[in-house]
Copies of this chain bind each other. A is one copy, B any other.
Amino acid sequence: MRSDNITGISPQILEAIIAENEGETTAYGGDDVTKRSEERLREVFENRELDAFNILTGTAANSLIISTLSPTFGAVFCHRNSHINGDECGAVEFQSGGAKLIPLEGKNGKITPDTLEVSLETFIIGEPHHSQPSVISIANTTEAGTVYTPEEIFALSNIAKKYKLKFHMDGARFANALVKTGCSPAELTWKVGVDALSFGTTKNGALGAEAAVFFNGCEDGSFAYRRMRSGHLASKMRFISTQIIAYLEDDLWLKNATHANAMAEKLYQGVKDSGALKFSFPVQSNVMFTEMNVGLKDALEGAGFKFYTSPAEEGVSGRLVTAFNTDKALIEDFIKVVNDYK
């Protein structure tokens, strides 16, 4: 339960890699498999004109996309607890050559239109002493495990438009947000004003494959060079691309996310009345933040469960994450330990 990164590879994706290991093809993404992966993404987003670039990690996708959308002296608005602000070692600041992250507070890991606008108003547009507002970046699913509704995204993108910001979405757990909201990929992105998406597959069953997806023609022609010079153009790209194709095939991605979300929900339902485990945020995806006392933590660890913990006001905070292949029996065991604990 530590992370969706600790799981292995979805069998269908592994099979695709194995199948791809026949014959030869062009290196560095000039191959047919890569073209097909881009076409598949286009279809998935309802044939919207888009530019897609396969890439190796989520941090690379986030920082390269934002660097493409923002001038080097831009201000990038994000949630204070977002992955780009707290867990990427300054990747955006580095890749962009000095853009500034503006951390915003917000309940349940989400930015509200009000907070965004209040922060934007403190910047003086056109005044060289100030970093210039350029991008808003949200994550859906958020780092807190919560999910933005399309209405919430639309409200933020309206402000983005008013201030001429580009709108980026970190979709490391995009499939989990789709499943939760019941939206189509388009309904959760370009139809509500999203300009660019870090399309993640690794946390939901791939070996390692992400895509930077730009809608609305907002890629300025620099991304391919940025990807190369930062070392993110895989030489044997077709093994990345084939993962993305398999991920989308027969709705594998949605099936995987549906299972992960369901396991989280099962866990939540099983323990919510126990009193022993408190949930810090609404449970809306496969990521849950909980608070428990040290005794329960010890009991869970004693029973073999592993999860990240950090000090909390009372006891400890524990992050619980389910995945595409989490065993139902494991959840039931977990529930039992919690409910047996007194």
| Docked-complex contact B21 and A9, CB < 8 angstroms | yes
Give complex CA distance A75, B95 in Å: 16
Asked whether any CB of chain B lies closer than 8 Å to the CB of A322, the reply is no
- Segment of A38-46, A189-197, A200-208, A264-272 engaged in the interface with chain B: A200-208
Residue of B nearest to A85 (CB): B100
Report the minimal beta-carbon distance from A12 to chain B, rounded to whole angstroms: 12
Asked whether any CB of chain B lies closer than 8 Å to the CB of A71, the reply is yes
| Docked-complex contact B101 and A90, CB < 8 angstroms | no
Asked whether any CB of chain B lies closer than 8 Å to the CB of A331, the reply is no
Give complex CA distance A26, B4 in Å: 10
Report the minimal beta-carbon distance from A311 to chain B, rounded to whole angstroms: 8
Asked whether any CB of chain B lies closer than 8 Å to the CB of A342, the reply is no
| Docked-complex contact A8 and B22, CB < 8 angstroms | yes
Cβ proximity bits A201-242 to B, threshold 8 Å, 1 near / 0 not: 011000110000000000000101111111111111001100
Q: How many residues of A contact B (CB 8 A)?
A: 72
| Docked-complex contact B26 and A6, CB < 8 angstroms | yes
Report the minimal beta-carbon distance from A85 to chain B, rounded to whole angstroms: 8
A73-B222, A94-B98, A203-B235 as given contacts; A129 in contact with B21, CB under 8 Å: no
Asked whether any CB of chain B lies closer than 8 Å to the CB of A339, the reply is no
Asked whether any CB of chain B lies closer than 8 Å to the CB of A182, the reply is no
**Could you jot down 10 A-B contacts, CB within 8 Å?**
A17-B207, A59-B231, A63-B231, A71-B222, A73-B229, A86-B130, A88-B129, A94-B97, A128-B229, A231-B232
